[in-house]
């Protein structure tokens, strides 16, 4: 997998479906179970859901992430209990990437309204994939609503934070040096999209 995961933040199970069903009946059939990394979602110290990350990297049919919420009204956000809300909060695409950035959370699904959960000064960090239409649209929408966003500099070729860390970049410095909003964000974004 090549990820630099903090073992204190994530768990592992050989039987994902059986483990989930021991907490909440979700899967009708556990016959073809599989191992997965468990990404716990906490809110106000309660385990409110999990994401299961596939370990089957060679099978394109394998669902990469399965999110199961134990509380349907709780936020699908990783790391919410570990941030300081009175400071800027970095919002990454994935839980693994968020562990490399100070005061950060990760969306566990589509973009959500993080302000609903007390994050009033978000800085959005998307993957460095200028040819990915979905990411390009999400960055454009983030800029249009007036939020701050990280626009990766042209010299960085790695597609996500974990790859950048493996490459040896001081990711916190890179992120802090490339935060933009408003017209400046739009100009940087237009250049980034052409890379």
**162-184 residue pLDDT tens:** 999 999 999 999 999 999 999 99
**Tally of CB atoms within 10 A around 51:** 24
Tell if the pTM clears 0.85, that is, is over it.
Answer: yes
Contacts for 43 with CB less than 8 Å, ≥ 6 apart: 71, 74, 75, 77, 80, 81, 117
Residue 141 tokens read as 């929408």
- The predicted structure's pLDDT at residue 23: 92
H helix runs in 49-179, sequence order: 95-98, 133-144, 161-167, 171-176
- The predicted structure's pLDDT at residue 72: 86
Which SS3 state, helix, strand or coil, does residue 52 take?
A: strand
**74-108 residue pLDDT tens:** 899 999 999 999 999 999 988 999 999 999 999 88
**Tally of CB atoms within 10 A around 175:** 22
């Amino acid at each position: 997998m090549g990820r630099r995961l903090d073992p204190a933040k994530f768990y592992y199970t050989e039987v994902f479906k059986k483990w989930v069903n021991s907490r909440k009946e979700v899967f009708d059939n556990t016959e073809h179970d599989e191992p997965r990394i468990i990404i716990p979602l906490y809110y106000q110290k309660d385990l409110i859901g999990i994401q299961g990350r596939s370990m089957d990297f060679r099978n394109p049919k394998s669902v990469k992430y399965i999110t199961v919420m134990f509380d349907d009204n709780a936020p699908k956000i990783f790391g919410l209990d570990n941030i300081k809300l009175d400071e800027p909060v970095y919002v990454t695409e994935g839980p693994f990437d968020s562990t490399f950035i100070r005061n950060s959370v990760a969306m566990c699904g589509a973009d959500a309204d993080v302000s609903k959960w007390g994050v009033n000064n978000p800085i959005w960090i998307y993957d460095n994939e200028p040819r990915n239409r979905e990411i390009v649209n999400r960055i454009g929408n983030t800029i249009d609503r007036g939020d701050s966003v990280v626009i990766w500099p042209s010299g960085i070729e790695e597609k996500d934070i974990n790859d950048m860390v493996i490459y040896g970049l001081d990711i916190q410095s890179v992120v802090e040096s490339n935060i933009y909003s408003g017209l400046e964000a739009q100009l940087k974004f237009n250049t980034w999209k052409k890379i």
